[in-house]
Amino acid sequence: MIVIEKQPKRVEVTVYAEFTLADYQEFETAVNYAIQFEGPVDLFFDLREMADFTLDVAWEDIVFARAHANDFSRIAVLTHSQWVAWSAWLSQMFVRAEMRIFDDEVEARSWLLAEEGETPA
């Protein structure tokens, strides 16, 4: 299950339990909409509660990343899992966005806001 929140120039995604293909397609729809109307956007992924992801999600992520190589500015991935961090790093090979892995939410949000010239709430 995922929860998607839209901020100006940013899409925030929190994944709970298993990340399924249907969840990923919901994410794609939200991101495509944001890109269409705002241009390149930042992504914030909170994967701390993700238990697992399906193989088709991994494949879809590669396909999506390659199709949108220039559509992201910054990507913050929040996780406590080394495996998830490694997977995110692997995906970075297909996008030109700056990506960082965090284990602290305040640091992740501060990094995204610093680029925008904002201060964290």
C-alpha span between 52 and 60 (Å, rounded): 15
- Check residue 119 and give its pLDDT: 47
CA pair distance 85, 8, nearest whole angstrom: 26
pLDDT of residue 69: 87
Angle between helical axes of 55-67 and 21-38 (0-180°, round to 10): 20
Residue with tokens 């494949």: 59
> Does residue 120 register a pLDDT over 60?
no
The confidence score (pLDDT) of residue 84 equals 67
Which residue is it, tokens 């992801």?
53
Q: Is 78 left (phi over 0), alpha (psi -120 to 50) or beta?
A: beta
pLDDT digits (tens, 9 = 90+) for 3-14: 999 999 999 999
Q: What is the pLDDT of residue 116?
A: 60
Where on the phi/psi map is residue 72: left (φ > 0), alpha (ψ -120 to 50), or beta? beta
CA-to-CA distance for 112 and 19, rounded, in angstroms?
24
Domains and CATH numbers, the chain: 2-116 (3.40.50.10600)
Q: What is the pTM of this model?
A: 0.85
Q: Is the pLDDT of residue 118 over 90?
A: no
Q: What is the pLDDT of residues 42-99, one digit of tens each?
A: 999 999 998 888 888 888 888 888 888 899 999 999 988 776 665 665 566 567 888 8
